[in-house]
């Protein structure tokens, strides 16, 4: 009774539409001495090629005997137009960060050197200022000097 059965392969797309893929009938002979025993048989089926993204869905197989039918749990298959592309940007981020830090370092160094030239007087400059002040103010007490730059 159970030696003749049919195997149906089909898939259900995202719109819950059932599409038949293949059907095959089997008639399995029972070896002598194996009657009234449970047997498990394996049948592989390859679906090739999956042509476009509309083939995405859940694929099932179903086995039907005269009065019984059993259905598998299904396998979900996602099909993309292009292959999987690893989106790791680690190398690019490292190079960008290094370049940015180098630019900031060069800019900060240039600003510090420029400020030093603007704010720091030369060695002879305080004497020149002192001479000008003494020449302008002949009073007894000299005016206080400006605080040194390092203050």
pLDDT tens, residue by residue, 5-19: 899 999 888 888 888
In which residue are the tokens 């004497």 written? 127
Considering 37-41, 99-103, 120-124, the range whose residues carry the highest mean pLDDT is 99-103
What Cα–Cα distance (Å) separates residue 145 from each residue in 25, 34, 116?
A: 111, 117, 20
Mean pLDDT of 54-77: 88
Mean pLDDT of 104-131: 71
Contacts (Cβ under 8 Å, ≥6 apart) of 6: 23, 24, 25, 26, 63, 64
Residue among 28, 25, 22, 27 nearest 46 (CA): 22
Residue 106, pLDDT above cutoff 90 = yes
Answer with the residue of higher pLDDT: 118 or 107: 107
Decide: pTM greater than 0.85.
Answer: no
Q: What is the mean pLDDT of the chain?
A: 78
Q: Which two tokens stand for residue 131?
A: 């001479």
């Amino acid at each position: 009774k159970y030696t003749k059965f049919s195997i149906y392969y089909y898939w259900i797309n995202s719109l819950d539409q059932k599409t038949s893929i293949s059907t095959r009938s089997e008639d399995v002979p029972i070896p002598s001495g194996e009657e009234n025993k449970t047997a498990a048989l394996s049948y592989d089926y390859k679906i090739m090629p999956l042509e476009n993204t509309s083939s995405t869905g859940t694929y099932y197989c179903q086995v039907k005997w005269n009065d019984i039918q059993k259905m598998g749990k299904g396998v979900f298959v996602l099909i993309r137009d292009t292959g999987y592309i690893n989106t790791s940007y680690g190398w690019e981020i490292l190079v960008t960060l290094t370049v940015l830090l180098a630019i900031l370092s060069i800019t900060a160094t240039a600003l510090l050197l420029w400020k030093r030239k603007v704010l720091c007087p030369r060695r002879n400059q305080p004497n020149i200022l002192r001479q000008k002040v003494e020449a302008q103010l002949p009073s007894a007490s000299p005016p206080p000097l400006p605080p040194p730059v390092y203050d």
